[in-house]
Chain A
Amino acid sequence: MKKIALLLSIAMLALILPGCGSSKTKLYVYNWGEYIDESVISDFEAKYPDIKVIYETFETNEDMYTKIKPGDDCYDVLIPSDYMIGRLIDEDMLEKLNFENIPNYSYIDDKYKAWDYDPTNEYSVPYMWGVLGILYDTTKVQEDTFTWNTLFDPKYKNQVLMKDDSRDTLGIALKSLGYSMNSTDENELKEAENKLLEHKDNYFGIVGDEGMDMMVEGDAPLAVMYSGDAARCISENENLAFAIPEDGTNYFVDAMVIPKNAKHKKEAELFINFMCETDTALKNVEEINYSTPHTGAYEQLDAERRNSFQYPGEDVLKAADVYNYLGSKEKLRSEIWNDYTASIAE
């Protein structure tokens, strides 16, 4: 018995030791799930043989925040969204980037720089962007123009897939009432909540990522969706189409940042720079269907994709709201959202 135990421990040590003994620098990268062409990571490791990338993924910005907030996990590169970067900057959790180490930053189109969350471009390098819109089944939905109110039209009873995300859902209702998606006014938020509850008979479901499957299968005719996810659904079901509501939408960006407690800032900057090489950026954008801020990659995309809803005109983007971190007002929005969730079934 003792011999078996000894053998087992030796076997386990043998498994662990190569990890400890290697002199490679471990670079911890934390990104959204299914948000990279994985071959890019091995390309990076081939180019920089001294670095081993430990790649991990998260489901929501909030999951990521919860994981990194205590500070015991030392990630080197994070790729969260706009408002979350705003929060991380606000809480002094990000390191300023040294752009001398990121020469490829020049490829990022100026129109995707200077966001509200990082107005002086000191902390972040845009990775992908997109807009919120309505994915619909062309065999069941015929509309000349789409607004957010289309979702609340009584003729679509039990046909609309809503998102189980508070920013998007409250944002839609606010926008349909003519307010900003970032509203922190209690009356406006109450009005938005009441509007959402008033039309709850229209909701086929309130879902997360499983909504994509439902649209591809043809279970539901209308869904609130991000442009990148919509493009993926359309590639799997050609009856689907995407519309950007005319009353204005949300315009978001996910960007690469380095947290304060990163152990390998220099290697992290190498990684960010590598992600901004034209070949890498092209590989990524072709894999994941979102929109690229990279001029080099954009020019090499086929014309069909460049002219699609994935690259809407300047006017659409100008009219769109970018989510902001709302500081102490987040609590109010969270209370409204709790109240909405608890009332949805009555």
Chain B
Amino acid sequence: MKKKLGKFALIFPFLLWMVLLIVVPLFLIAYYAFTTSDGNVLHFTFDNFKSFIRPNFIKVLIRSLKLSLFATVICLFAGYPVALILSGNAFKKKALLLVLLLAPMWMNFILRTYAWLTILSEKGVLNSLLEAAGFNTRSFLGNEKAVVFGMVYNLLPYMILPIYTSISKIPHSLIEASYDLGSSSYGCFKRVILPLSLPGILSGITLVFVPGVTTFVISDYLGRGKVPLIGNIIEQQFSSGIEWGFGAAISIIVMFVVILCMRIINKFTDEPEVTLL
């Protein structure tokens, strides 16, 4: 009995945190999404959800999923080799590489995104260099490519770190055993390292895909407001201050779509302990 109480005391701060900052806000969002008030009388309603079912809103949601998926795939293919190199012994200055990887994350996310405006804008650093080298200047911002670029730039570390952790945890004896049994280095990667790093890949995908779908800062700055994502539509409902119910309803729709996407991704692995949802 006493032991149980001790355990509870340990988990209590986290429970309190969960309830106050996760469960209560979720209920609030549901409350706003499903109610409408005329005067002082509250009504239960599905109207906020119904008003989302229009071609242009659905298109924005599909665009968000599409761009975030692109960014996730790029992050995976660019990030996996980095994680592999980091966890191996081939690279001597591992600590330095890790610091280089993490250093941008110590800076404010909005500031980092804003800084790209100075580099990529019409009169920006990159265009000045192009001009000096005799090339035509170009417009890099205000399109879907710029938004995907921003997502990859900001979210790449979130792909690398979980993969790095899961590869580092693979016992070296397993890799040695695969070589002893006559495996090539490709075979070892395919049959030992890749399957065992799957949990890392899955958390990496979640950590990149979900913030990518819901971002609104990147599309505001690098997309110059011309590539609205679902996050922008949600933000607009709250910042304009009058459509909270609609904003809350879209948030719930996005949550369900994201959960659905994660379930599909999880289908690719049959190990129950790495299932995320």
The residue from B121, B226, B237 contacting A206, defined by CB atoms under 8 A apart: B226
Q: Tell me the bound Cα distance from A24 to B245 in angstroms.
A: 42
A62 CA / B141 CA spacing, docked (Å): 28
| Complex contact A342–B60 (CB within 8 A) | yes
Query: With an 8 A cutoff between CB atoms, is B241 at the interface?
Result: yes
**With an 8 A cutoff between CB atoms, is B117 at the interface?**
yes
Stretch at the interface among A147-155, A214-222, A296-304: A214-222
Tier of interface size on chain A:
35 or more
Contact call B226/A342, Cβ cutoff below 8 A: no
**CB-based contact A342/B59 at 8 Å:** yes
6 A-B contacts (beta carbon < 8 Å): A204-B142, A204-B224, A337-B240, A339-B56, A342-B60, A345-B226
- CB-defined contacts of B221 to chain A, threshold 8 Å: 210
In whole Å, how far is B126's beta carbon from the nearest beta carbon of chain A? 13
Q: Which 3 A-B pairs have the closest CB atoms?
A: A206-B225, A205-B224, A62-B241
CA A339 to CA B56, docked complex, whole Å: 7
Quick check: A334 and B243 within 8 Å, CB to CB?
yes
Residues of B within 8 A of A200 (CB): 226
Q: From A62, A217, A343, give the contact of B121 (CB < 8 A).
A: A217
Contact string against B for A residues 213-242, beta-carbon threshold 8 Å, 1 for contact and 0 otherwise: 110011110000000000000000000000
Number of A-B contacts (CB under 8 A): 85
Q: Are B233 and A338 in contact (CB under 8 A)?
A: yes
Distance between Cα atoms of A162 and B241 in the complex (Å): 21
CB B16 to nearest CB in A, in angstroms, measures 20
Q: Mark B234-249, 1 if CB is under 8 A from A, else 0.
A: 0011111111001000
Tell whether A205 pairs with B239 under 8 Å between CB atoms, given A219-B123, A346-B56.
Answer: no
Whether A342 contacts B241 by the Cβ 8 Å rule is no
Contacting B at CB under 8 A, from A41-86, are 60, 62-63, 65-66
- Asked if A330 CB lies within 8 Å of chain B CBs, one says yes
Tell me the nearest residue of chain A to B229, going by C-beta.
A345
Which residues of B pack against A, CB within 8 Å?
51, 54, 56-57, 59-60, 63, 114, 117, 121-124, 139, 141-142, 220-221, 224-228, 232-233, 236-243, 246
Contact A343-B56, Cβ < 8 Å, known A60-B239, A62-B241, A334-B240: yes
A339 to B233, CA, bound (A): 10
Q: Are B227 and A345 in contact (CB under 8 A)?
A: yes
Confirm or deny: A106 has a beta carbon within 8 angstroms of a beta carbon on chain B: no
CB distance from A93 to the nearest CB of B (A): 13
- Interface on chain A toward B: helix, strand, loop, or mixed SS? helix
Q: Which of A218, A338, A345 contacts B123 (CB 8 A)?
A: A218
A226–B104 Cα distance when bound, in Å, is: 35
Distance in Å: Cβ of B55 to nearest Cβ of chain A: 9
List, in ascending order, chain A residues with CB within 8 A of B114's CB: 210
Q: Give the residues in chain B near A343, CB-CB below 8 Å.
A: 56
Per-position contact with B for A165-207: 1 when CB-CB < 8 Å, else 0? 0100000000000000000000000000000000010011111
A214-B121, A219-B123, A338-B243 known; A344-B226 Cβ under 8 A? yes
Question: Nearest Cβ in chain B — how far from A219, in angstroms?
Answer: 4
Chain A residue numbers with a CB within 8 Å of B237 are 338
Cα–Cα distance between A205 and B57 once the two chains are bound (Å): 20
A334 in contact with B226 (CB, 8 Å): no
A247-271: which have CB < 8 Å to B? none
State whether the Cβ of A341 lies closer than 8 Å to any Cβ in chain B. Answer: yes
Closest chain A residue to B144, Cβ basis? A345
A335 to B47, CA, bound (A): 13
Task: Name B244's closest neighbour in chain A (CB-CB).
Answer: A66
Interface pair A338/B226, CB less than 8 Å apart: no
CB-defined contacts of B238 to chain A, threshold 8 Å: 66
Residues from chain A with a CB closer than 8 A to the CB of B57 are: 338, 342
Beta-carbon nearest neighbor of A59 in chain B = B239
Residues of A within 8 A of B242 (CB): 62, 330-331, 334
B228 near A342 with CB under 8 A, answer yes
Q: Are B236 and A344 interface neighbours, CB within 8 A?
A: no
Contact yes or no, B139 A158, CB < 8 A: yes
